[in-house]
Structure 1
């Protein structure tokens, strides 16, 4: 399950409205504090925000606390007893994943305000599979492309007051740096629409069907027992603008980048979402986005 953000064009701090600044100040006070490693390499910086990988268990625990706040307290997901007691969103995949962090260093503090979980193929193989395989037939996709290296993206999470272009700019900068450093060929993961009634989401799902259908080589079905009823192939999109506005920012970002959206959907009652699968071959990423997020890009603006 993921919460979700868009491919951005930048946002100036001085352009924030007063209420936005107050919201961020409150969010900073509530955001998880961890003994952050001051020597960790920074992958990108905009204003007081920076992005990098977690370096130790304390930072991962802080990311889990942030996920709990957003998924379970804000979004009303259903925690397990262990999660409720610890007030952390955690599972067995956390220990084998890398964790991307967005950190706000405003006012002399260092607080985690966003995170993304990254699972490269070789670690998933050691763990017995990808997390997404619980919803979608990922093994078949990987088997069809034996020469390519896959990266699963998941557990995307940003504090509400930070769900803007600046934070997402940094998440994508961090992901792209990771993709280049680890020679990743294909990115994939679940993206979530709020709600568990696919019929109520018929228009945005139909828009995705029309805008980004995968060719056969990148098509992935849902696990049969989890598959939600599909909208008829002939069902129209009556109001494309409204349907686009209903999409989470992350899905809009994947569409801009060239991602394919699977035709199947899965209802996740624990997280109160309807999930679709996004598959993004690296070769599909527009060159202008490669230039925007690549090594030569100015992602360290003051």
Structure 2
């Protein structure tokens, strides 16, 4: 999920204490057409390259407002960069610092609980998820938060997106993840401008009560803006951003209430995807092969 909701006034990335990542070197590599590969960032310099891509997309192509420090560094960063794993798609035919063409930021529950929690907690009360017995069974890795996703304009195609998902799938498998979650963004800061798609999500994809996170009270924006009989479901679905549509097709739930993020110029919704809800026909997105028969 693209999460652009929590951007903290923090030192530059190089000044932060980094969570050790001994597994990064051993993370499985996927190569497409001999040109693209997906893997975890293995160094601070590679993380900086992903931050530079995020800066270009969020602050130059989109309407996000960078801090002076971000503008000076030409990188998007916050305190969670030091804790997260950074999934990269690298164009191996490009030399130099601009070869990272896609990225996702991954934060596992075990890491979040050792520090200050998940960054989505700035927008949503995550209590229903954190102790849920189905999502936190013994011997499993629990939850994983996805965020800061972006792909360079000239690589926004099926091959790059599928490669990112192959990387996410391998990471999920390696850490026995039970559910993915995060905030996905609709453009603009007026929820009423998205009355049809927000109402459609509320009436058709709201999470079950025991899994239903809710926007924090001081940031809560109503999603139930239209009665169900006034919604054209097909048009409302097509009005959703591609990322949200993709998660809905995979079986995702939506949290209650939207959140306006003025820094990034977006209206955010909470997305929860329990791994067990992912339909078999979509396992091709994850490239799990015969492992699909060993779910759970």
Partners of 1:269 and 1:292 in 2: CA distance? 33
Pairwise CA distance, 1:40: 7.0
Partners of 1:101 and 1:128 in 2: CA distance? 24
- Post-superposition Cα deviations, 1:267-297, rounded to whole Å, max 9, x if no partner, equal 0000000000001111111122235524437
- Post-superposition Cα deviations, 1:154-187, rounded to whole Å, max 9, x if no partner, equal 0011112222221110111111100000000111
Please state whether the residue corresponding to 2:79 is helix, strand or coil.
Answer: coil
Partners of 1:160 and 1:237 in 2: CA distance? 36
Alpha-carbon contact 1:76-1:271 (below 8 Å) kept:
yes
Alpha-carbon contact 1:119-1:152 (below 8 Å) kept:
yes
Say if 2:248 is the partner of 1:255. Answer: yes
**How large is the Cα RMSD of the aligned pairs?**
2.2
Pairwise CA distance, 1:101: 0.5
Alpha-carbon contact 2:259-2:269 (below 8 Å) kept:
yes
Give the structure, 1 or 2, with the largest relative contact order (CA under 8 Å, sep 6 or more).
Answer: 1
Alpha-carbon contact 2:38-2:89 (below 8 Å) kept:
yes
* Worse-superposed segment, 102-111 or 272-281: 102-111
**In structure 1, what is the equivalent of residue 220 of structure 2?**
227
Partners of 2:284 and 2:150 in 1: CA distance? 25
Aligned residues: 263
Alpha-carbon contact 2:144-2:179 (below 8 Å) kept:
yes
Say if 2:200 is the partner of 1:207. Answer: yes
Partners of 1:237 and 1:157 in 2: CA distance? 34
Which of the residues 258, 267, 272 maps onto 1:274?
267
Please state whether the residue corresponding to 2:255 is helix, strand or coil.
Answer: strand
- Post-superposition Cα deviations, 1:42-91, rounded to whole Å, max 9, x if no partner, equal 53232222211111110000000000000001102011121111111001
Alpha-carbon contact 1:3-1:250 (below 8 Å) kept:
no
Say if 2:47 is the partner of 1:54. Answer: no
Mark the CA change 1:144 to 1:40 in structure 2 (over 3 Å): closer, same or farther.
Answer: closer
